[in-house]
Amino acid sequence: MEILLVEDDDSIAEPLMAGLRRDGFDVARVRTASQALAHETPEFVLLDLGLPDADGSDVCRELRSRGETPIIVITARADEIDRVVLLELGADDYLVKPFGFRELRARIRAVLRRTQPRSEVPPTTKIGDLEIDRRTRRVTKNDEELQLTPKEFDLLAYLASDPGAVFARQEILESVWDTHWYGPTKTLDVHIAALRKKLGDPAWIATVRGVGFRLHEPE
């Protein structure tokens, strides 16, 4: 997949390009709004709002009017971040500078999961000696059934839909609890702690600081 990075600042663009390429993306980079709009329809756009020749929000609106390309807005100006306005412009998500690459990666994956046709999640997922059966809602470890509450099961099944991938806290809350959850996130931590206990090894669910969680077999 090719990502179009629209960013005039080299000190931000260069490490992003290097990281995205390491992750297997092709990256095209442009510096201005006019270059961005002249680029042939990109598959995914990372869009800086502070561009030298126009406001990035105009670019966002124009790209959205052309099609369904996923767009993540990046901005240095936290004060202009109005989630509602960005969603009206057609952005799928946003990041405020400075942000870590892991957070960007988690957001890209989240947007791709939301915007791409859902690949069929298999009825069972096996990770090491852990098996999650979505049809029967049973979880076994070493062939012994774990007694999970319904929400614990939903959370585990969600993390297991892409083993090893980082899921952002907000994404988990929106998917497992409610479509839009802006409240305190302590509920999530309580459920993570309970799951870790029931899985018998806290290392099953790794905390990715400042981003979220991922499920993987302990080493």
Nearest CA among 40, 57, 34 for reference residue 4: 40
**Closest to Ca ion by CB, 11 or 179:** 11
Q: Least separation, in Å, of the C-beta of 8 and Ca ion?
A: 5
Buried (b) or exposed (e) across 65-103, using 16+ Cβ within 10 A?
A: eeeebbbbbbbeeeeeeeeeebeebbbbbbbeeebeebb
Q: How far is the CB of 71 from Ca ion (least distance, A)?
A: 16
Measured CA distances, 54 to 2, 41, 61, 76 (Å): 23, 19, 12, 15
- Name the closest residue to Ca ion (Cβ): 50
CA 155 to chain centre: 16
**Closest distance of CB 51 from Ca ion, Å:** 6
Scanning 1-9, 140-148, 161-169, 208-216 for contacts with Ca ion by CB under 5 A, the matching segment is 1-9
110, 67, 117, 108: which is closest to 90 by C-alpha?
67
Nearer to Ca ion, 7 or 171 (CB): 7
Residue 8 found at the interface with Ca ion (CB under 5 A): yes
Least Å distance, CB 160 to Ca ion, is 39
**Residues 37-66, interacting with Ca ion (CB under 5 A):** 48, 50
**Does 200 interact with Ca ion (rule: CB under 5 A)?**
no
Structure tokens at 83: 């989630």
Q: CB 32 → Ca ion: shortest distance, Å? A: 10
Q: Is residue 72 within 8 Å of 97, Cβ to Cβ?
A: no
Q: Which is nearer to Ca ion, 4 or 205 (CB)?
A: 4
Site residues (vs Ca ion, CB under 5 A): 8-9, 48, 50
